[in-house]
Structures are given as structure tokens and as C-alpha cells.
Amino acid sequence: MKNPLFAMIERRREGFKIGIPSYCTANELAIEAVMEQSKRFAEPIVIEGTANQINQFGGYTGMTPSDFRDYVHGIADRINFEHDKIILGADHFGPLVWSDLPADEAMNNSKELLRLAILAGFTKIHLDTSMKLKGDPENERLSNEVIAERGVILLEECEKAYQELLKTNPNAMRPVYVIGSEVPIPGGAQEDDGGVQVTRVSDFEDTLSRYKRKFKEHGISDKWQDVIAVVVQPGVEFGDKDIHQYDRNAARELCDILKEYPDVVLEGHSTDYQPPKKLREMVEDGIAILKVGPALTFALREGLFALSMIERELLPEDKRANFIETLERVMLENPSNWQKHYRGSDEEMRLARKYSYSDRCRYYFSLPEIKASIAKLFSNIDSVEVPAGMLRQYMPVQYRKVRDGLLEMKASSLAKDCVVEIAEDYNYAVKLHYIIGGIF
């Protein structure tokens, strides 16, 4: 079966400036929200997981690739969303989480991870072999030759797994591949370096030429047609406190070179928090795959905090979920997911735990105590009548939708709609003739 992402490439060759968002999150409410808003479109939706989220050892979510597939499909079943509209993506799949191991061992782990991903039905595969492994030269940059060689070795493993999958599922969709890794590690920059350098044209072309030569050396030149995108740094990034907005003039030389490579598009990571107009400019310029992750859970956290403020107004102290306080306590008790990322005084780190663009609190949302607090918060809000003026005070966008009959006055719906607001920015960016009438 032909991968629907090819249709996006073909339409761009015809002159249509379209693209697709890639929602990289394992949060249940965020996934449900982006699925619900996607129901009104015919196009597929991409849901991605990173190698540190999901792998054969569980990752930080505790899920293997097949677990993640079942998890996403379970959410889809709950809201009657078609499985056929879901493209499962594998982000930064390679030795990312095993960089402290010798190359042979790290690559063997990577092969197994990709084999399991293909067998589980992942069909958008970002091959990332850019990180140094134990035994690689310490005082020099990992060569593009080694990066490409390792990437093609992993792609061959994917192809073997796909042939294995066809034996049990003859209609299984072919995977497509994304190469290149000129971005920071998943989750955004850890600190502001004062500027973001756009990928040089020479580096982009070197990535393509070296990979293409490796395909030939490995006797798989016919698979080159399945490479649809190259990950680049188009000049967008976010850190703890700062956002680097897209500057199309700075990226013009990089984007213009795509005229010579009509069969591939650029994939931009860390597009979180970009204004809708900037996202649209990126798609127009050829950055047709827009990765977004932390912005989704950041928006969800905003909604949960707003509901918590409403709860304080309407319920006695002994009845409250106290989500804000619970989240802070759990993060302090288990600091491993934020401690290396936030710097400064105790007060600065306290604020960062709540409001940092890096959104490290998302790592805690799947913990039983946090899930229980969210469930109690939703139950509390649904048990009382929220005055319209109070809803407007704390959730003005959702207030308008409730007022106009576009959104259910239900706590979970209000929280998820904060995520929908982010998804709509991406819909505006990637779809032709996007109309917001009747939605906002």
C-alpha cells in the first residue's frame, strides 16, 4: 500500500503549498484532542513517538512500539477515529538512548528498535544516527560518512522487517524515511546560545549525496524513492525562556535549493510556539513537515491550571484536587526529568517547573498520582456550576466557544480545547484555503 505522505509530496510538485503537522506526544489528552480536531479533515494525522519515549526496553513511557500503537489506537477507538487515518511516526530512531554503549551494541539495539517499530505498523521513520557512540573519536565531529553508513544499515533493517510484516499483512503500508538530524536532542534546546544557525546548503546537499551513495554501495538504490524528507535547522528553536522565530530571509538559500530536489521536502523540528503566520511561511518555503510536541502539553498544562483556579473559587479546600500543588510536589520528589534542564535560583527553578517552554512537567503527567489529580479536578469542575463570567476570566477562548455552542461545558473538553488551539495553528499552516469560520 502506498504511503499517503507521497500524496503530499506529489501535490507540492504540482505547486500546491501544503504540508502536514507531526504531533510528537505520548500524552493521552493531547492525542485525543488532536484526533478530535482532525475528524473534519480527509487528510491523515501523524502521531509520533521518540526513541527515548518508546523502545524495546519501555522508554520513559514504559511502552514498546507495539504498546504505543495499541495505546494510540485505543484512544482512537474511544472517540471513533479511523485507524486508517493515523500515520505512526518514529522520531530520532537510532542509537539516541544508547550513545554510552560501544557502536556494535548501540547499533544492534537500534536495529531491534526499528524492527519492532516496522512490525508494529510505524510508517514514517526518522533515521537518526548523528550522535557519537562509545569508541567514536572524542575530539572531532562524527563524520557525515559514518552517519550515512549507520543510517543505511538501519534502513536495511527496516526493509527486512517490512518484508517480514508482509507475510502476515500483505496490505501493509510501505514505510517512508526521513534522514538528517541537524537539530538539538528531542524536547528543545537546554539553554539559549544567543542564536540559531540555519543549515547550510552545502551540508544539506552533502547529506543527500552521501546517503544516496551509500544506498548504491549497499545495493538498495531502488529504495531511495522512499526517502521523502531531510531534517534541517531552518532557524527555529525554543529554550527555557526564549523562542527563535522563523526568518524566511535567513532560510531563503536553504529553501531555494529544494527546486533542484523536487522529490524531498524539509522537516522542521522544534516548531513549537511559532506564530501561525511563521508556520505558514515555513510550509510555503518547503519546510512541509512541522514537528510539534511540548507546545501541546504546555497548552494542556495551561488549561489544567486555569481549571485549578476555578476550583479554588468554587470548592472548599478539603474537596479540591489541588493539581498545581500536587504537580509541584511530585516534581520536587522526582527531580530527574527537570533538574538538568533548569538553572538559576530556587525561585527561578520554581517558575520554570510551571512555565518553562521546555515543559518538563509533561514527563510527570502519566504518573498515577498526577493522573488521579487530573481526574479529581475534572470531576470537581463537572460537579459545580461555573459562572459564565468566571469561565471568561480564566479561559476566555473556551468561554467564547461554550457561549456560541461550539464546545461542551465539560472540564475535559475545556482542557483539551487548549490543545486544539495549537493544532489549529498548524492546520492554518499546512492546509489550502483553511477557513476558521464555525470553529472559533
CA distance 412 to 220: 49
pLDDT of residue 183: 58
What pTM value is reported for the model?
A: 0.94
Query: Confidence band (pLDDT; 50, 70, 90) for 435?
Result: low
* Mean pLDDT, range 409-427, rounded to an integer: 97
pLDDT of residue 14: 95
Residues 6+ apart with CB under 8 A from 253: 201
pLDDT(57) > 50: yes
DSSP secondary structure letter of residue 4: T
pLDDT(206) > 90: yes
Please, are residues 439 and 397 in contact by the beta-carbon 8 Å criterion?
A: no
pLDDT of residue 438: 43
Q: C-alpha grid cell for residue 287?
A: 519546510
Cα distance from N-terminal residue to C-terminal residue, the chain: 37
Reported as type and span, the H/E element at residue 146 is helix 144-168
* Cα 35 versus chain centre, distance: 14
Residues 6+ apart with CB under 8 A from 189: 237, 238, 239, 270
Q: For 143-194, write each residue's pLDDT tens digit.
A: 999 999 999 999 999 999 999 999 999 999 999 999 998 754 454 454 444 5
Q: For 105-119, write each residue's pLDDT tens digit.
A: 999 999 999 999 999
- What is the CB-side half-sphere exposure of residue 254 using CA atoms within 13 A? 26
Instruction: Using only the alpha carbons of the chain, give its radius of gyration.
Output: 22
Strand partners, 88: 47, 122
pLDDT of residue 192: 47
* Mean pLDDT, range 221-237, rounded to an integer: 97
pLDDT(439) > 50: no
pLDDT of residue 148: 97
* Mean pLDDT, range 18-37, rounded to an integer: 97
CA geometry: angle 278, 284, 288, nearest 5 deg: 90
Q: C-alpha grid cell for residue 191?
A: 539553554
